[in-house]
Chain A
Amino acid sequence: MSTTPIDSWAVDLADVTFIYPGVGTEVAMTVFAVILWLGWHVWQVKLENETFEQEIKDHGTEDKIREAIDGG
């Protein structure tokens, strides 16, 4: 199922406009991409919170923190 607007280059280039596949689906592609973008932020903030929580659990003891301060 081809969606490309170009099926031959035996044309006058002055008549050629769009060359990408899926002309007419731009709104749908935008909605899809915006959902991916927002979803990425949701995933990232969860990852960041979990990473900090785990790190504090594993390394947040007074001794380790004093050691880290000594190391700069």
Chain B
Amino acid sequence: MDTEVAAITTIFTEFYYFVTVALMFLIHIGFCMYEVGASRRKNHMHTLMKNSMLIPLVTITWFFFGWWIYWAFAGGPGITGGIGHPAPEFAEAYTPWGESMGPRLDDRISGVFWAAFLLFAWTAASIVSGAVIERIRSFAFWLFAILIGSVTWSIDAAWGWSYGGWMVEILGYHDAYASGVIHAIAGGTALGILVVLGPRLGKFREDGTPREILPHNPWLVCIGLFLIYTGFWGFYVACNVPIISPETIDGQITGTTLTATTIYLTPTTLGAITINFLMSLSGGMLVGYMVSKGDAFWTYSGGLAGIITASAGNDLYHPIQALVIAGAGTWAMYKLHFWVERKFKIDDAVGAVAVHGYAGFLGVVIAGFVLWGHPSSPYEGFAVITPWGQFVGAIIMFWVLGFFPAWVLAKILASMDLLRIPREIEILGLDFATTQESEAARQDVIAAKKALV
């Protein structure tokens, strides 16, 4: 920062990521409201704590190994390069004892960049949280939160969401705003847990048809989804590099024009993603309203699914493409949710597998057709975007890194009786004991007041 321009550029970038972190915090508040609202009253405080405590646990494990994995595994390792490929000095610097992990005056970006990625990790874990409410043990859920937040999402980001990732280089994988790398993997993880965990008691009739377990506060659910929309702005802009020169990129771009880029260092603009965010939100809400015949929960969820479907290519789509893709993804995820529920008896309490998993998967695949032939990277030798590259990428996100590791861990925990809460507790409600204590305390105070009269 020895010139004024360098100082302004650096501090602008530092402040830019800082603001994204504050905005993304709203995603977590939204998820908590949504999840608590969707739970029954007898479970709501426990539901809140289950989601809230992923914050410290994912944060510290992100510090211990999540961030290092991102920088160490871009080449596989062993696919396009070894540990640390293509910049081993970063992997070294981002070990918990590395030189970029503590405050230093000559590195103002690492801390805020670390935090922006961490907030993505919270989001991934929080998506899973809603699907499994009212019957998973907190101990088990927090292990899954660490699994997706600090291990599998970090691997998928290294592979498919970094400028040197092997999926980008070989498959031409393009997922600018994380349809696959956050949403499909989170949906796949939730599904992997749900098939082992099983439905809430009473969810299905003896003939296998589902009963509706109503949220205790639909209004809270909808406001939660609204807050997720708000925080999503931070998520989107955090996916960009705000300002960078071709010289710094060191790729094939010529000239000296500074630009914003995606995480792949491919040029885009904040204007592009702003209009596409709003158009895809609109496409999702319009179709969500239509397909659910005006149901508030599915209309709001449709808005989210719309953004998620279009996110893979929202750096490049025309706004009308974003609108139509969002609508198509929302229609498909809604239909798939109820089909899977009936066919496989999957009790996804908040529709997370559909809104995030199916919409994210489809979004990655659709981007392969719409962006076919577009360069995935500014670097020479990287594959272009193709339908087959995107399809393989979607499989990796949803099934290989999402479903499979979660299913294995769920099986292990179930075999140790550490996955699901006891049947009696599920019937009584997770807040039963504390509710009894609160009522006893209340009655005690009432009795004390009466004694004074």
- Please report A residues at the B interface, Cβ cutoff 8 Å: 13-14, 16-20, 23, 26-27, 29-30, 33-34, 37, 41, 44-45, 48, 51-52, 54-56, 58-60, 64-65, 68-69, 71-72
Contacts and interface: CB of A to CB of B under 8 A. Distances in A.
B242 to A, nearest CB: 24
A68 B104 CA distance: 56
B245 interface: no
Interface in B41-94: 41-42, 57, 60-61, 64
A37 B306 CA distance: 38
Interface in B394-422: 418, 421-422
B97 A26 contact: yes
A30 B421 contact: no
A55 B428 contact: yes
Contacts of A56: 422, 424-425
Contacts of A51: 433
Contacts of B102: 18, 20, 23, 26
Contacts, number: 83
Contacts of A52: 421-422, 425
B97 A30 contact: yes
Given A56-B424, A59-B432, A64-B428, A19 B42 contact: no
B40 interface: yes
B87 to A, nearest CB: 20
A33 B40 contact: no
6 contacts: A27-B97, A41-B139, A48-B138, A52-B421, A68-B42, A72-B40
Interface of B: 2, 40-42, 57, 60-61, 64, 96-99, 101-106, 137-139, 142-143, 418, 421-422, 424-425, 427-429, 432-433, 436
B433 A59 contact: yes
Contact of A65 (B2, B40, B106, B428): B428
A65 B138 contact: no
Contact of A18 (B60, B104, B137): B104
A65 B60 CA distance: 39
A29 B421 CA distance: 35
Contacts of B104: 16-19
A3 to B, nearest CB: 12
A58 B41 contact: no
Given A37-B61, A48-B139, A51-B433, 11 more contacts: A16-B105, A26-B101, A41-B143, A44-B138, A44-B139, A45-B418, A48-B138, A55-B433, A60-B424, A71-B42, A72-B41
Contact of B60 (A37, A64, A72): A37
